[in-house]
Structure 1
Amino acid sequence: MTVNFGTAASEFGTLVERVPRGALDGPGLGEWSLRELIGHTSRAISTVSDYLSAPEPATSTVHSASEYLEVVLRQQGDDEAIALRGRAAAQQLGDDPATAISELFGDAVRALALADPARLVAVGSDGRVAMPLREYLRTRVFELTVHGVDIADAAGLDWTPPSAHLIDALHLAATNATARDVGVEALRMLTGRRPDAGLDGVLAAGR
């Protein structure tokens, strides 16, 4: 199964439309309010058109979505900077996040329609990370899927992402766990070998 950025972004926009206005300034994730969490997640859409407007880099430095998550975010992530960008994005969305996100989605769709699917994109403000567009879009679907679940949980909404997106997110998360040397523990939790974690496990019956 393959992921589809357009589907993921559209599903996210529909989810945000369902979020009660009165919940936006309530708890979201960590130190973020729900509004700020939505703002952070909206960057999974806005960065597509932003990065496609920049010149194409000559060579790639990161070759896959899993490498991006394993190496770039783990080694270069700045939690404070990420939190501030989320807050800034929330302010840019204004009082009607759903409408603003629809406009961002339109910009991204138009940019993708004009782009060569095989091109590279420079990621980040410094442009030091360059990767294939198709793999960058996978990371955007990952963000929209994971944070979509976070948003639904914070807002008390029932929401399930497309199965292909959920499977790919699980694959990328498992790859990242393995890179951090906690893959065995992640497998134990998922398969019910850690009942204290609150998971019966998908393979609990096979114990």
Structure 2
Amino acid sequence: METDTASSFAQTTEPEPASQEGPPPRPHVEAYRAASNALARVCRNITDWEAPGLGEWTVRDLAGHVDRALVNVTAYLEAGTEPGAPFVDGPVAYYRAFWGRHDDEGVAERGRLAGQALGDEPSITIERDRVLAQAVVDRTPDDARLRTPVGTMTLAGYLPTRTFELAVHTADLARATGQEVPESLDLAWPEVIRLASELAVQNGQAVDLVMAITGRGTLPEGFTVL
């Protein structure tokens, strides 16, 4: 009996995988999106902007501080690079460079000024800034260079530092205003935790951190990776 060669071949060979269309995944962009969306959601439910926020900040001050994680992305990309500025290779290097010039009073004052700049409708201002920042991030390639206070960085290197700020301070705002921390932050926490653990290693805090998160000890008083 004759064999239908073409039919036999079709039955015994695996189909070729479908071609993948569209741009490659950008997990750091999606983490930033999740964190900024969570911030906007929490801010929509705030009724008392002058209530205590974090430390010496009011809720308005704290919201203004974290809003800078939106507006600065756009501003730093638009600023272009500064000739002769050092290249800062990634989020850990950013924080290490920032520690050397950290100014608590300056940070506090910038937060207050940013809070005032939110105007009469802070949640609307923050939503506007979120939409603008996300649109810029979505259309900007990862290797685009931007100007930061500590040097030149790529977008992919800088963005995790803003996700860190957005996620942590959104949780601060939620707690300060009696809200649940949004579950949507679950998409951002892996990047936040990864960066925090890398900073702990750089600081010589890895053992303390690992022992605490595995139930083998408690963190020293005042422990922070920042």
* TM bracket, shorter-chain basis: 0.7 to 0.9
The 2-side partners of 1:176 and 1:114 are apart by 29
What is aligned with 1:73? 98
What is aligned with 1:179? 202
| TM-score of the aligned structures, taking structure 2 as reference length | 0.77
Residue identity opposite 2:161 in structure 1? T
Shift of 1:111: 3.1
What is aligned with 1:34? 59
2:151 matches 1:151: no
The 2-side partners of 1:26 and 1:119 are apart by 39
Runs of at least 5 residues in structure 1 that lack an aligned partner in the other structure: 198-207
Runs of at least 5 residues in structure 2 that lack an aligned partner in the other structure: 1-25, 221-226
What is aligned with 1:11? 38
The 2-side partners of 1:29 and 1:9 are apart by 19
Residue identity opposite 2:174 in structure 1? A
Change (3 A) 1:164 1:109: closer
| Residue correspondence of structure 1 range 191-202 to structure 2 within 5 A | 191-194=214-217
Change (3 A) 1:171 1:113: closer
What is aligned with 1:64? 90
Shift of 1:196: 8.3
Q: CA RMSD in A?
A: 2.1
Residue identity opposite 1:121 in structure 2? L
Rg larger in 1 or in 2? 2
| Residue correspondence of structure 1 range 86-97 to structure 2 within 5 A | 86-97=111-122
Task: Provide runs of 4+ in structure 1 moved above 4 Å.
Answer: 57-60
Change (3 A) 1:195 1:81: closer
What is aligned with 2:126? 101
SS of the equivalent of 1:53 reads: helix
Contact 2:65 2:112 in 1 (8 A): yes
What is aligned with 1:85? 110
The 2-side partners of 1:113 and 1:2 are apart by 12
Residue identity over aligned pairs, in percent, reads 29
The 2-side partners of 1:100 and 1:196 are apart by 38
Decide which of 121, 124, 149 is 2:146's aligned counterpart. Answer: 121
Shift of 1:34: 1.3
Residue identity opposite 1:67 in structure 2? A
Q: Which moved more, 1:178-187 or 1:40-49?
A: 178-187
The 2-side partners of 1:42 and 1:135 are apart by 19
Instruction: Identify, as 1 or 2, the structure richer in helix.
Output: 1
The 2-side partners of 1:113 and 1:175 are apart by 26
Change (3 A) 1:195 1:171: same
The 1-side partners of 2:59 and 2:138 are apart by 31
